[in-house]
Structure 1
Amino acid sequence: MSIGQIFDDVQRSSVGHKSLIKRLKRLEGIPEFDEDIKQCIFRLLEVAKAEAAGNRLVKFLTLYMQDADASSPTTSAILLALLPYLSAKDKTARYRATQIVSQILGVLSAIDDELYGAIRNELIRRLHDKVPAIRLEAVTALGRLVESEMDDNPDEKDSDSDSDYEAGLLEKLLDVLQNDSNADVRRALLLNLPITPTTLPYLLERARDRDAPTRRALYSRLLPKLGDFRHLSLSMREKLLRWGLRDRDEKVRQATARLFSERWIEDCANTKDHANETQLDGEQQSEQPEKPIAEASIPALLELLERIDIMNSGAEHGVGLDAMREFWASRPDYVDAVNFEDDFWDNLTAESAFMARTFIECCQQDPATQAKLEDKMPEVTRIGFYLQKNLNNLLDTIRAINDGTRPDDDQVDQEFIVEQLLHIAHHLDYTDEIGRRKMFSLLRDAISVAELPEESTRLAVEALRLVCNADAAGEREFTAVILEAIAEVHDTITPSEPEVPDNEEDSFVSARSEVSSEPASDTTPTRTNPNAANVPKQRKASSGKPKPTTEEEEAKALKEIVINLKCLHIAQSMLQNVTGNLQSNIHLESLLNNLVIPAVRSYEIPVRERGVLCLGLCCMLEPKLAEENAPLFVHCLARGNEGLQVMCVKILCDVLLSRGRSSASEDAALDLAPFVKGLRSEYGEVQSTAAGSLGKLMLCGFYSGNEAVFDEACEVAIGENAKGAELLSKVRAAVQVEAAQEAAVVAGADGDAGAAVAAPEKRQKSSSKRVSAESRVE
């Protein structure tokens, strides 16, 4: 059989290639062997990429060269013959030549230095070829070359010419990895570049690649090949989880979840095996064979949580919650292995507390695991005792830190543990009356402690609302308890023997500046003083005391501001958890008059801002109050700082959303002047918030009947080049398309009165579905 007949048979089928290679090797000694091979390859260069016969020929040549001697004349002759075609004008010839060279280089163990340099230079030129398929073959070949260069020069940092030679190629490939327009080219480099400390940051950048398969390749192929995830930096672990678990592509999220719950946990479970591994030191770690899945190990899970810095990633919107949600759903063996005995609760750490919290939350959402949760969880009373113990530890730690006897780091750990226990309290069954009373008393006392951090206070307020009944009576009880707690916190400002002028009453909140001569508000009530009859006598007795120093006055004023902010934060947390009418609840009305309004009138900026926020929450509960205070919010939007302006825009938007589409009068157009003013603000965040608010209003049905004012606002956003203007325009276009579709449906009903009546109802129902459940001010 001649060489031509062999190549003819190769094109027909991939079956029998091995036998044809043996026949071709028998012909190696005949005259003109190299010339005949080259002639067959030249014919292959004319075969288009889509032709299967051409791909079979390339595969056959690769298998043949795999068994050939790297220094054989045939190998060198083929590569030399292909060199001119790497820069041919015909794109088919360039593609086939680059493809064949790439495949041959992938199987050769050595090559002549002069030939190697010529091929390398030609392939570098192909990195900028206009045909993506040619660039793909070039980067595949060069990825192998740069790896071999690193293997030949392991100490490249100490080398001069070799280091520059290698760095030049690596730099070019990294540039292609970052900037090539073709996703296949970037993905090929991602999977072919060697993993070194130099290349690793560029490879991990592909987690934000615009191509979903490339991002998926990183999580499903590159990162498992990387080895122990603990070689990565702490910030990079957190970023990879956050980018992957919140990716817009479902397959990327699934790949990230598998990486976390199958590979990373196994790295921690097989710690003793990893003890013998060396850390990443500049050489690519070889891909290890799959290890058997280790048995469920709670210590390994706790280590994994520590490795992703759970105290930061486990916060309110941290990625730790997403990661553990996927973990519990995919690892039933770990669900069975969890055990909440007394030792567990007595020796809580940040990691174990977070593990318990996520376990309880995930099990409650899955009916299949609810029975297991009931068997593992202690009763509510015991949880209350554990919470009380950790609350006391936290408060003792805070006081010790204030005294300078303990470091600040201790508070961070204790605070995180308390927060997780309060999250757990949100998911307990309070039908147990003994446990409910225990939690009620504990939470009420915790809220009234001024030193308790704000996040813990917020969670305690939310838990207390769940402990109280869900009806109106339970809400009144809840607000009464919170008001008592606020009074106790505020009492820490007033000394035991108050020294006040005869004509000034002891107000519930003193949010006025020391230099203010403004009289107290008429709505500010007085607190009954049981020792009122003795006040003049106390003043006379103390008149001989020295006047306080400037430092003491400043410390007192600062403490007053801090306590007022704490009281307002408790009020804010309460207002975010009530739904009743403000006028029907005397406690809410008292809170408004005695705390919120004086805070809004305060000369202290932080107090005034938080007072405005609480006032906005009160307006959500009382439409009449919202109408009366709308000018105040507009004034703050015009004169306030950036934070206050953002807050007022949100308040005005939420007030409109809470009142619904009926708030827009049939006769008068909707007043969007405050939002237009926000679009013209000098602050980008205010512009973005105003644009987002207008978009929400349009999506919630306010556009219909108010097209002119919304269109004018959109034109202002575009004309001012406001931040968020592009998104606002897209929302308006989507709303207009939806309105046109609904009008077409109504018009196509052939005058059917029922369809004409149903259209507004359908539109109203569609709008109500888009209304966010979170209608309160954040």
Structure 2
Amino acid sequence: MVTAAPTFKSIQKISEVEDITYALQQVFQSSQTSIATHRKQIVILKHIQVRAHELNLESWFNVTFCKLVNKVLIVKRTESVADRVIKLIAGFVLSVSDVLKESQAEDENANKELEVVFEEFIDHLVRHLMKGIDAKDKNVRYRVCQLLGLLMRSLNSIDEDLFELISDSMYQKLFDKEPTVRLQAVHAVACFQADENDNDQNLEEGLANTATERLVFVIQNDTNSEVRRAALLNLEKTPETFLYLLERARDVNPVNRRLVYSRIMKEIGDFRILEYSVREALLTYGLHDRDDSVQKACVQMLSYQWLDTLNGDILELIERLHVTESEIAEHAIKVVLKTRPEYITKMKMNIQVLESLTAESAFLFKVYFTYINEQNMIDKLEELPESLTFSRVLSKYFNARLKIMEGFNANTTEEQAIADLKEMNFVIDKLLEVSTDYDFSDEIGRRSLLQLLRSSLSSHNLQESSIKLVMRTLSKLSVNERDFCQMVAEIIDDLTSIETHQKTMVQNGDNQEDSKDASGDSFVSAVSDVDDEDMDPEATATKTKENETHTVSSEVMLYALQIAQGTLMVTHSNLNENISLMSLIDSLIHPAIKQSENVIRNLGLSCLGLCCLLDKQLAIDSLFLFGLCVTQGVDSIKLTGLKAIFDILSTHGISILDTEGGIDSLSIAKLFYKSLKDFKRPELQAISGEGLFKLFLADIITDDDLFETILLTYFNPSINENETLKQCISFGIPVYAYSSTVHQQRISRVVADTLKRTMKSYDELEDKSKAISLNTILQQLIHWTDPRNVIGISEEDISASGTHAEFASQLVQAMESMTDSKTFVKSCILALPRLHLTNTKEITLLKQAAQNLREIALTVEGEGLYKMDIPTVNAINKFYSFVDSLRDEKKEEEEQISEEHDFQSNVE
């Protein structure tokens, strides 16, 4: 019998089965120390296998080899020794597979015999491992999946039946309860992709029932981030899988999100093969990610990988970002300029560049100007053209736009003209954005631009975005705000006057009748009467102005309203001190609200809302109108009305409510309640939720019932259908709770009603699987009201806080009305020990809560409703003990105070 370590010479002397066993054991033992000797050990294993074949003992070799493999399968995954042995096994199988591949190209009997031996060995090993695929021991399942994954990478070919057996088993292991097992299963399944992609039938069927589809499922649904990461890295990068890979930019795990930008995009290669919407989403998610490492990875991808793909051409990058439609492009290019400042150094924005702007170059000029202005780069700012030159350039593009509009029915096709007009509008917008911060210290340049913008408003029929930008620039160029408003009022008067004088007196009469009919049918007809009464005795004069305005066409009125809206957005002076704006209310805004066209009416309401921010009395008088809009208007009118109400309350506070001739606070609260509970209108719901939180955070509204409605909305399963509202409330409640102990006390005061109404809603649900569990609700409420979570609170304030004392009292109140529900009572009682109860001043409240809890326990026991389990009883006793300890401490304090008082009296 051979007893020394196996060598090439000693292997030839093997003659018994014990020699084969000993030789294999020695190889496995030697492989555990270092992988450096694995190549030699693999060659030794091949010689042992060949010698076993010569002795007709290949079956013994296979059995012994598998027995030694069994020793590795039970080793924990943290042991690196087992990993070395498994690498040896995989390396040996790879060596055998290579021999099989070589023998298939040759036609020698000896090789054919060895081919059979090797195939039997692989078949025996794989089938042996398959026996442990469903073992109870998680270590065995882990090692089996790990080894099978390595074997699948090592094998050049495999029997079809054996392949199906392995693939089916690995597909099942993707759902194993242990994440480590699923992780190894993912590595194994990834090996099947190449084989299935070679199959024409699978290619025709797409992703259906393939390894690729399984990996996609894991990426989207596995709860473990490491498993999802393994699937992400191993999924083949093809056009069919790009979307599944890139959607991990929204993964909950920051490492997975970072890998999308740092690795997946590199493997995909040229970003230009991705659709514009995908590139837009990638940049939006990455540059706005809350994790700094993800942001940095996205910046590196954009500034180096993408830009290098385009040979450093930043204008082509801007073109690929579709800047005329993109919302992230400006931020993206700012990041590029910040990351690669050499582009700023090379750029020269002279007059030649400005006179030949395209959409891309205009966008780059705007971003470039913003960057050097923010960084106060004086040298670069001085290189820019003078203000007068800039004004002439802008005038050139205004005239070019006018020619495009005149040429709509000329030589160019309508589609081409629309595209040209869109690009020209974009160029003008970018130049106007620059003009708001441009240096107009030169009086000649200032006057030139002022005159240009004024004339452009009157004659160029600008788009809405351009109008707002023009108003911003005009407000800065004007001498003062009063002069600015007077100029705008004159422009609007000129627009409406020209339109009015083009009508005949007969047409004026017809239009007045039509307008009256439409106004009478609308929901604001009642408001019109109220307005007339309020504005008396000048009602006749006002009606005359309104009737004249009714003759103005819808297009002109809409344009005038857009100018008025842009003006009001940049105006801050009191409305009573601005006669020009007051005249716009009577001559333009009120008539627009009474129009039958929703677009005009909506814009008129928006302008009225902006006016209300400048005058408190007007806000009081207009709240009723906005309330009517929310209750009776179409959806767009409802949204505008609700936004206006929130803005008014945010500006003037609740002092405008409950006034003479105004609206009472109860009506407003009901309005907010109905809009927040209107699940049929998700956008209205979201605006209501956002507006309420702004008012609550500013302590403008302090109504407990209204905040209870917010909590009920949050715990309602229907909120899952409104992502905007869900995100708003999910963010708003913690911010509100942690900002002040007063806010936490408000939440504590509504705990009882919230729990009872939530449970009532739960009982009415048809599908209870979507509902939040009672334990989860209690856990969230406890966390929100924990005084230790308040920002900047001192230890003294935490000890003095009675928030959780009120919470405990509310829990007991809730249990009193739902004593017959064992689940509810048990959950509430088990929540009591989680409360942060301190030496609070609310000892009376806790004493009463403890007494009520005793009565509940007696009622449950006396009526035999149900039996409380040990954890519940322990929680009750713990609460009793705490309350009793507070009593003793308070009694001692009272006695000490009494003794000190007696001592002081005796001394005196």
Q: What is the TM-score normalised by the length of structure 1?
A: 0.78
Matched, 1:428 2:476: no
Q: Distance in 2 between matches of 1:492 and 1:352?
A: 38
Question: What are structure 1's unaligned runs of at least 5 residues?
Answer: 270-296, 530-555, 753-778
- Aligned equivalent of 1:46: 74
Assess if the C-alpha contact under 8 Å between 2:519 and 2:594 holds in 1: no
Paired position in structure 1 for 2:691: 693
Taking structure 1 as reference, are residues 143 and 660 closer, same or farther at Cα in structure 2, changes over 3 Å only? same
Partner in structure 1 of residue 334 of structure 2: 325
Cα 1:69/1:603, change in 2 over 3 Å: closer
Matched, 1:601 2:594: yes
In the alignment, residue 453 of structure 1 is paired with which amino acid?
Q
Query: In structure 2, what is the Cα distance between the partners aligned to 1:599 and 1:327?
Result: 46
Structure 2 residue 230 is matched with structure 1 residue 188:
yes
Shift of residue 28 of structure 1?
A: 4.9
Deviation, 1:650, is 0.9
Separation of aligned partners in 1, 2:265 and 2:251: 15
CA change 1:357–1:525 in 2 (3 A) is: farther
* Alpha-carbon contact 2:575-2:582 (below 8 Å) kept: yes
Match of 2:553, SS state, is helix
Q: Distance in 2 between matches of 1:488 and 1:129?
A: 76
Q: Give the Cα separation in 1 of the matches to 2:210 and 2:650.
A: 59
Shift of 1:202: 2.8
Quick check: 1:634–1:648 contact (8 Å CA) kept in 2?
yes
Give the equivalent residue in structure 1 for 2:193.
Answer: 146
Question: Given the superposition, is the C-alpha separation of residues 204 and 747 from structure 1 closer, same or farther in structure 2, using an over 3 Å criterion?
Answer: closer
Distance, in Å, in 2 between the alignment partners of 1:364 and 1:260 is 23
Deviation at 1:222, TM superposition (A): 1.4
Match of 1:541 in 2: none
Q: Distance in 2 between matches of 1:201 and 1:449?
A: 48
Residue of structure 1 in register with 2:559 after alignment: 566
Offset from partner CA, 1:681-727 (integer Å, 9 cap, x none): 453322222222111111122354x3345435755887896763785
1:302 correspondence with 2:315: yes
Whole-Å Cα distance in 1 between the matches of residues 177 and 278 of structure 2?
Answer: 35
Q: Which residue of 2 aligns with 1:127?
A: 174
Equivalent AA in structure 1 for residue 378 of structure 2:
A
Report the more deviating stretch, 650-659 or 86-95. 86-95
In the TM superposition, what is the alpha-carbon distance from 1:494 to its structure 2 partner?
A: 2.5
Code of the residue aligned with 1:639 in structure 2: it is Q
* Bigger shift: residues 214-223 or 618-627: 214-223
Contact 2:366 2:430 in 1 (8 A): yes
* 1:500 alignment counterpart: 505
Q: Is the 8 A contact 1:127 1:176 kept in 2?
A: yes
Matched with 1:678 is 675
Q: State which of 591, 599, 611 in structure 2 corresponds to 1:618.
A: 611
Whole-Å separation in 2 of the counterparts to 1:94 and 1:720: 39
CA–CA distance in structure 1, aligned partners of residues 373 and 133 of structure 2:
63
After the TM superposition, which residues 399-418 of structure 1 pair with which residues of structure 2 at under 5 Å, given as runs? 399-401=406-408, 405-407=412-414, 408-418=418-428
CA RMSD of aligned residues (A): 3.8
Q: Structure 2 counterpart of 1:59, which letter?
A: K
- Per-residue Cα deviation, 1:563-593 (whole angstroms, up to 9, x for no partner): 0011011000000001111111221222222
Bigger helix fraction: 2
Write the letter of the residue equivalent to 2:284.
Answer: R
Change (3 A) 1:371 1:14: farther
Q: 2:139 aligns with which of 92, 101, 121?
A: 92
Which consecutive residues of structure 2, in runs of 5 or more, have no partner in the other structure?
Answer: 6-22, 53-59, 101-117, 521-527, 533-538, 746-786, 788-792, 801-908
Q: Distance in 2 between matches of 1:66 and 1:622?
A: 83
Which runs of structure 2 are paired with 1:254-403 in the superposition (5 Å)? 254-269=296-311, 297=312, 300-313=313-326, 318-367=327-376, 370-401=377-408
Q: What secondary structure does 1:347 align onto?
A: coil
**Post-superposition CA distance 1:2-38 (Å, at most 9, x none):** 5434433443455655565566566554545544433
Q: Say whether the 8 Å CA contact 2:429–2:469 is kept in structure 1.
A: yes
Q: Among residues 11, 25, 32, which one is paired with 1:11 in the alignment? A: 32
Shift of 1:479: 1.0
Shift of 1:486: 1.4
- The Cα offsets for residues 27-82 of structure 1, whole Å up to 9 and x where unpaired, read as 55454554443332110000012223222323343444444444345555433432
Structure 1 partner of 2:642: 649
The 5 A counterparts of 1:199-238 are: 199-238=241-280
d(CA) in 1 for partners of 2:508, 2:452: 40
Matched, 1:447 2:457: yes
Are 1:748 and 2:796 an aligned pair?
yes
Separation (CA, whole Å) in 1 of partners of 2:450 and 2:358? 25
Structure-to-structure mapping, 1:710-749, within 5 angstroms: 710-711=707-708, 724=725, 728=729, 731-732=732-733, 734-740=735-741, 748=796
| C-alpha separation in 2, matches of 1:703 and 1:452 | 41
Greater length-normalized contact order (CA 8 Å, ≥ 6 residues apart): 1
1:465-484 equivalences under 5 Å are 465-469=475-479, 474-484=480-490
Deviation at 1:560, TM superposition (A): 0.4
- Give the aligned residue type for 2:334: R
**Deviating more after overlay: 338-347 vs 675-684:** 675-684
For 1:593 and 1:413, the matched residues in 2 are separated by 37
Percent of aligned pairs with the same residue?
29
Q: CA deviation at 1:750?
A: 12
CA 1:334–1:67: 2 relative to 1, 3 Å: farther
Corresponding residue for residue 628 of structure 2: 635
Paired amino acid for 1:617: L
Whether 1:240 and 2:282 are equivalent positions in the alignment is yes
Q: Which amino acid aligns with 1:260?
A: L
CA displacement at 1:258 relative to structure 2: 1.9
Query: Computing the radius of gyration over CA atoms, which structure comes out larger, 1 or 2?
Result: 2
Shift of 1:511: 11
Q: Is the 8 A contact 1:400 1:406 kept in 2?
A: no
482-491 or 217-226, larger mean C-alpha shift: 482-491
User: Which structure 2 residues correspond to residues 501-580 of structure 1 after superposition, within 5 A?
Assistant: 512=515, 522-523=541-542, 560-580=553-573
* Displacement after TM superposition at 1:475 (Å): 0.9
Moved more, 418-427 or 657-666: 657-666
Indicate yes or no: 2:471 matched with 1:461: yes
- Residue-pair matches, total: 676
Aligned pair 1:55/2:61, yes or no? no
AA partner of residue 477 (structure 2)? V
Q: Could you tell me how far apart the structure 2 residues matched to 1:751 and 1:222 are?
A: 52
Q: Distance in 1 between matches of 2:214 and 2:551?
A: 59
After alignment, is 686-695 or 562-571 more displaced? 686-695
Residue 359 of structure 1: CA displacement?
1.6
Equivalence for 1:290: none
Q: 1:494-544 CA distances to partner (integer Å, 9 max, x unpaired)?
A: 245x5327998999xx994687799986336769x9xxxxxxxxxxxxxxx
Which residue is 2:850 aligned to? none
Q: What amino acid maps onto 1:251 in structure 2?
A: S
Distance (Å, rounded) in 1 between the aligned partners of 2:550 and 2:514: 10
- Provide the rounded CA distance (Å) in 2 between the counterparts of 1:605 and 1:158: 52
Q: Is the 8 A contact 1:219 1:256 kept in 2?
A: yes
TM-score, normalised by the number of residues in structure 2: 0.67
1:523 is paired with a residue whose SS is helix
Could you tell me whether the CA contact under 8 Å between 2:606 and 2:640 is conserved in 1? Answer: yes
1:748 aligned counterpart, secondary structure: helix
Note closer, same or farther for the CA distance 1:697–1:123 as it changes in structure 2 (3 Å cut): same
**2:76 is matched by which residue type in structure 1?**
A
How big is the shift at 1:136?
1.8
Question: 1:561 touches 1:607 (CA, 8 Å); kept in 2?
Answer: yes
Tell me the CA shift for residue 635 of structure 1: 1.6
Kindly provide the amino acid, as one letter, of the partner of residue 576 in structure 1.
Answer: M
Shift of 1:404: 7.8
Which region of structure 1 is more displaced relative to structure 2, 480-489 or 163-172? 163-172
Q: What is the distance in 2 between the residues matched to 1:746 and 1:255?
A: 39
Q: Which moves more between the two structures, 192-201 or 407-416?
A: 192-201
| Residues 512 and 604 in structure 1, CA contact (< 8 A), matched pair in contact too | no
Distance in 2, matches of 1:412 and 1:654, equals 33
